[in-house]
Structure 1
Amino acid sequence: MGACWSNQIKSIWSSTTVNSSSEARNDINLSGSSSKVSSACTIPQQSSRSEGEILQSSNLKSFTFIELRASTRNFRPDSVLGQGGFGSVYKGWVDEHSLTATKPGSEHHLIFWYILVIQAEINYLGQLDHPNLVKLIGYCLEDEHRLLVYEFMPRGSMENHLFRRGSHIQPLSWGLRMKVALGAAKGLAFLHNAKTQVIYRDFKTSNILLDSDYNAKLSDFGLARDGPTGDRSHVSTRVMGTHGYAAPEYLVTGHLTAKSDIYSFGVVLLEIICGRRAIDKNKPSGEHNLVEWAKPYLTNKRRIFRVLDTRLQGQYSLNRVQKAAHLALHCLAKEPKSRPSMDEVVKRLEQLQEPGGTSGNAM
């Protein structure tokens, strides 16, 4: 599970008091490095093993709490990158060669996530190896302290690029949006095609992180579940996730399938096209729900431009926009069986990539 870093590596971590038996929602956004990860591996079945047993059987680096405390300047407020239901996220530094925590100040860094409920993250990210999944580097399991160490993604989340406004924020070009969509799709396809299928269950823009070259990586596996096995068609589970992204059949029945993730992907693709949030109560009446508002426009070639992100300023191919919109509609099909597989989504997005690559081109 090697990763390619230069010099020292910056990190981020988080603290919490969540009950380990609960399925509390985690809305923390992690920002991490552009480390490249190679090849895939089999995802293990979730088990009833203790945190210590899970961690010790992984290939992750074990850090002491003293090391990580020093790396974040004693958890100083200016080291905090975010807050969420499972705790706070801090930035810190780790040496690239020894993977030991070091003093702040280097150019590259990691993520330290100080958290109590860690089994899901370890069961998945601790064993996964793919370029479009955020890299889990190590952990701290010491007394009451629970911390996870991730690679740092310098360009933050797709959510910030799409929805934050300000003179310092440059809107993403159409080409970069399609590049991010493809990377995220490849991450989901990898999970769905694993020997033990994984259903992500919380696919949204805040969980898509970007490295320095705008390569997308999925983060936050707190709600991930193993997919159905044998002759089972679904997994029955308590309904969890984020309002506006969950598939309608999952909300009604609690039946979880890979098609649930594909619906969520359709919502995110729509956000990428429109530059609007899935749910936005600040919009006029009738426009609060993005899917309900946008669908009628997406099916009409003459009206589709009315829902496009105005910040694109016409810098796009209408033909490619139409194809992306049709793909979003396909993913949002009411009947789960009518939705495409993630493999098909990847193939269709590959056809929408701009010639010559799109890295580093914001508008």
Structure 2
Amino acid sequence: MGCFPCGGKSNQNGKKQLPINNNTFDHQIPSTSGEKLKVNSAPNAKKDGESDHIAARTFTFRELAAATKNFRADCHVGEGGFGRVYKGQLESTNQVVAIKQLDRNGLQGNREFLVEVLMLSMLHHPNLVNLIGYCADGDQRLLVYEYMPLGSLEDHLHDLPLDRRQLDWNTRMKIAAGAAKGLEYLHDKANPPVIYRDLKCSNILLGEGYRPKLSDFGLAKLGPVGDNTHVSTRVMGTYGYCAPEYAMTGQLTLKSDVYSFGVVLLEIITGRKAIDNSRTGGEQNLVAWARPLFNDRRNFAQMADPLLQGQYPVRGLYQALAVAAMCVQEQPNMRPLIADLVTALTYLASQKYDPETQSVQGPRAGSSPPRMRRE
């Protein structure tokens, strides 16, 4: 497992932090079209003196009903966090959008709606889904996003229909690197940092060219600031992806997201689900199945997704599995920093595998992989 040796210290020491309460938001959600969301305390990456007013567009329920043909069944494209997602076309601009309608019977829907509006209004990155606007008419709560034509990463890894092409190795590494960049922005660029808390394949959406974007920020949480080491919160998330220390204690840290990312990376490499009850007992939990295999490189070939049909670089597979193994360490301080994950996965994505020649071709082919740090 020496592909990515560890050393060095955290690059987060001394980061300037803002004195923001981690548990509450000062907020005002208008319900009439044309108004703007007012935010007094939330994660931000803005310069001093910039306005706290967010230019997220507000929609009436009538507008969004028209865009989805009254939420007709053939416009339904999937299930998002706390609600159904529809494909629609805005009459005012002809823009094709994704519209998430929160379940009005959901106990936590309104809070998650607020968190998602706040987060996506203030966090902007090429690997985060773009929020176009929202609707808060009466008891209706809807979010309007850019439309991601290729669906979710889950759609391309698991239970593929016969007419869907399986992802090749190069595309898988590109998606992994892009998702890591989105998470790096939340951890290292947002101030204070944001803990995503629900990273999973179904929350990674794919645009043209398989560019990944993180979505569903309803469970996102402001990270620890100052001398605090964690945020204590009610355990929420998806079984199979939650870090063990978070599941057991409710103590949430940035390294909790790194664990979840490791599970996603294992899914990308192996094609297996995080939890698959159709498998035998010892193989139902992906991490539990993978951990014993990490101990011997001779097992690595059997961990590759059979749909790849052997078309992957052996060295690249070993390195990707080494990264995943570090991410799903039981102890949080043994997991790498997200910045180092980005460096490692960007390197792997640059090593273009050519199935015709069975060789690795890239700008740094043959060079050594980057070093990774755990703290």
TM-score (norm 1): 0.80
Task: Give the aligned length.
Answer: 308
Matching residue's letter, 1:112: I
Confirm whether residue 227 of structure 1 aligns to residue 223 of structure 2: yes
Q: What secondary structure is seen at the aligned counterpart in 1 of 2:340? A: helix
Of 76, 90, 97 in structure 2, the residue corresponding to residue 80 of structure 1 is 76
Deviation for aligned residue 1:55: 2.0
Report if aligned partners of 2:36, 2:57 keep a CA contact under 8 Å in 1. no
List per-residue Cα deviations over 1:99-150 (Å, max 9, x = no partner).
x365xxxxx6111112252111111001111000000001122222221110
* Structure (1 or 2) with the larger CA radius of gyration: 2
Deviation at 1:344, TM superposition (A): 0.3
Q: Given that residues 299 and 326 in structure 1 are in contact (C-alpha distance below 8 angstroms), is that contact kept between their aligned partners in structure 2?
A: no
Cα distance in 2 for partners of 1:184, 1:65 equals: 32
Partner of 1:3: none
The equivalent of 2:136 in structure 1 is 141
**CA drift at 1:50:** 3.2
CA distance in 2, matches of 1:267, 1:59: 35
What corresponds to 2:25 in structure 1? Answer: 47
Cα distance, 1:74 vs structure 2:
1.6
| Counterparts in 2 of 1:204 and 1:121: CA distance versus 1, 3 Å | same
Cα distance per residue 1:153-189 (max 9 Å; x no partner):
0000001100022211111001100000000000000
Matched, 1:269 2:265: yes
Q: Does 1:121 align with 2:147?
A: no
Partner Cα separation in structure 1 for residue 119 and residue 36 of structure 2: 11
The CA distance in 1 between the partners of 2:100 and 2:349, in whole Å, is 34
Mark the CA change 1:270 to 1:348 in structure 2 (over 3 Å): closer, same or farther.
Answer: same
The one-character-per-residue Cα deviations of 1:257-315 (angstroms, maximum 9, x if unpaired) are 00000001111111111100011110122111111111222332222111210010111
Q: Is contact 1:200-1:225 (8 Å) kept?
A: yes
Residues 263 and 331 of structure 1 are in contact (CA less than 8 Å); yes or no, is this contact kept in structure 2? yes
> What is the CA-CA distance between 1:84 and the residue it aligns to?
5.2
Alignment match, 2:96: 109
Q: Using the alignment, how far apart are the partners of 2:81 and 2:153 within structure 1?
A: 20
Per-residue Cα deviation, 1:313-357 (whole angstroms, up to 9, x for no partner): 111100000000000011111111111010000001111014569
Percent identity of equivalent pairs: 49
Q: What's the Cα RMSD here?
A: 2.1
In 2, the alpha carbon distance for the partners of 1:132 and 1:255 equals 27
Q: State yes or no: 1:330 paired with 2:326.
A: yes
Secondary structure of the residue that 2:256 maps to in structure 1?
A: helix
Structure 2 letter corresponding to 1:50: Q
Judge which range, 275-284 or 63-72, deviates more: 63-72
Q: Which residue of 2 aligns with 1:64?
A: 60
- State how far apart, in whole Å, the 2-side matches of 1:321 and 1:299 are: 15
Q: Deviations over 1:26-55 (max 9, x none)?
A: xxxxxxxxxxxxxxxx9x865142323972
- Asked if 2 retains the 8 angstrom alpha-carbon contact of 1:70 and 1:101, the reply is no
Structure 2 residue ranges without an equivalent (≥5): 1-17, 39-52, 103-108, 355-375
Letter in 1 for 2:133: G
CA distance in 2: counterparts of 1:241 and 1:180, whole angstroms: 22
